[in-house]
């Protein structure tokens, strides 16, 4: 049987300030990479990992995310009458049959750890996945969370996605330290949120994919505000290390930090190059665009 994660949590209640003014009205997660919003790429990744319950942690400004996954009756009816069957399929495929959405509200942006804790009433005591949609990861073979579900099925405990980061920028990430078990797996003995380069246990930064046990909720509930005054998921994972195995997994695929402008533009170009409808023409036009000629 394929390892599956039934429940996946999408903490999307942040303010998205780095993308103002675009995110003044439109949630960051609805900004499109080519023709699919970031949240759609994330949901497709969760479904590929076996999810049938998608838990969105939202706030009052993110309600359009629920609209995106809702049935658009007028649109669908019009497409049916116009016999636009391909477009109808695209509109309906945002949520595969048998997959449910649940929305919980984080009333105050108290941090990523707090946002994950808000999903507790839905997730209960199960193992679950977490995807931060603005960390966009593309792999042609196996999406990142499905890779991690496999690691989790083998090792249990928690699995966090890691990648080498520029040692100068350790203060932007959670950083893990531990023992290398193989080229892509680290048994984590230490995890620190946003350390200065001199204090970082390694250059392996945690990025936006996690597989966590239900126990993390109890640990989060007793986690005090940490770096930046926020309740940090990293601090609860640090407490988990004493109880259960925590592994850092170097996923295959490429990550684009779509929470900042450069990563977002790079992801857009990369996905346009993956699309046969745009790849050839883009290859021809990009050099002149880049040279400004
Ligand atoms: P970020 O650090 O990227 O913050 O949050 P942000 O608010 O989305 O964006 P900027 O920095 O203001 O531009 C990482 C993830 O944690 C979620 C965010 O939605 C994002 O997916 N988050 C963060 C919450 O859901 N709640 C919070 O209180 C904080």
- List the residue whose alpha carbon is closest to atom 7 of ligand 1: 14
Asked if the structure places residue 2 within a domain, the reply is no
Q: Is the shortest distance between the CB of 5 and ligand 1 below 6 Å?
A: no
Q: Evaluate whether residue 290 is within a structural domain.
A: no
- Tens digit of pLDDT per residue, the chain (293 long)? 567 799 999 999 998 889 999 999 999 999 999 999 999 999 999 999 999 999 999 999 999 999 999 988 899 999 999 999 999 998 888 999 999 999 999 999 999 999 999 999 999 999 999 999 999 999 999 999 999 999 999 999 999 999 999 999 999 999 999 999 999 999 999 999 999 999 999 999 999 999 999 999 999 999 998 888 899 999 999 999 999 999 999 999 999 999 999 999 999 999 999 999 999 999 999 999 999 87
Is the Cβ atom of 27 under 6 angstroms away from ligand 1? no
In a domain, 286, yes or no: no
**In this structure, are residues 251 and 164 in contact, taking their beta carbons and an 8 Å threshold?**
no
Q: Which residues span the domain enclosing 216?
A: 7-281
- The response to whether residue 262 sits with its C-beta less than 6 Å from ligand 1 reads no
Residue 73 lies in a domain: yes
Ligand 1 proximity of 112 Cβ (cutoff 6 Å): yes
Consecutive H or E run containing 36:
strand 36-37
C-alpha 49 – ligand 1 centre gap (Å): 23
Give me the CATH number covering residue 34: 3.90.550.10
Is 134 close to ligand 1, i.e. is its CB under 6 Å away? yes
Atom number in ligand 1 closest to CA 13? 25
State the Cα–Cα distance between residues 92 and 99, nearest whole angstrom.
12
- The protein residue whose alpha carbon is closest to atom 10 in ligand 1 is 16
Number of the ligand 1 atom closest to the C-alpha atom of 10 = 21
Cβ-proximal residues to 44 (8 Å cutoff; 6+ apart), any chain = 36, 143
Q: How far is the CA of 280 from the centre of ligand 1 (A)?
A: 35
For residue 288, is it within any domain?
no
pTM for the full predicted model: 0.95
Residue 275 lies in a domain: yes
Is residue 287 one of the residues assigned to a domain? no
User: What is the tally of structural domains in the chain?
Assistant: 1
The answer to whether residue 18 is domain-embedded is yes
Distances in whole angstroms, Cα of residue 95 to Cα of each of 8, 54, 92, 128, 142: 14, 10, 7, 19, 19
């Amino acid at each position: 049987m394929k390892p599956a994660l039934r429940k996946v949590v999408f903490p999307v209640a942040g303010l998205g300030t780095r993308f103002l003014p675009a995110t003044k009205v439109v949630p960051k997660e609805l900004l499109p990479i080519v023709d699919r919003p970031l949240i759609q790429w994330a949901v497709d990744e969760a479904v590929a990992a076996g999810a049938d319950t998608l838990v969105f942690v939202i706030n009052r400004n993110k309600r359009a995310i629920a609209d995106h996954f809702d049935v658009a009756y007028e649109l669908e009816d019009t497409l049916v009458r116009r016999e636009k069957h391909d477009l109808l399929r695209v509109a309906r495929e945002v949520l595969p049959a048998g997959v449910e959405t649940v929305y919980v509200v984080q009333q105050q942006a108290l941090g990523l750890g707090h946002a994950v804790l808000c999903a507790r009433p839905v997730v209960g005591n199960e193992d679950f996945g977490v995807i931060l949609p603005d960390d966009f990861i593309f792999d042609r073979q196996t999406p990142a969370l499905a890779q991690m579900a496999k690691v989790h099925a083998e090792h249990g405990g928690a699995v966090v996605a890691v990648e080498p980061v520029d040692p100068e920028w350790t203060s932007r990430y959670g950083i893990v330290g531990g023992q290398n078990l193989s080229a892509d797996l680290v048994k984590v003995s230490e995890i620190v949120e946003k350390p200065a380069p001199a204090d970082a246990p390694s250059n392996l930064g945690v990025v936006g994919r996690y597989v966590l046990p239900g126990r993390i909720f109890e640990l989060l509930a007793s986690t005090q505000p940490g770096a930046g005054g926020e309740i940090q998921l990293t601090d609860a994972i640090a407490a988990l290390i004493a109880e259960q195995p925590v592994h850092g997994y170097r996923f295959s695929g490429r990550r684009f930090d779509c929470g900042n402008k450069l990563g977002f533009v790079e992801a857009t170009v990369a996905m346009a190059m993956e699309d046969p409808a745009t790849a050839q023409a883009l290859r021809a036009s990009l050099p002149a665009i880049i040279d400004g000629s």
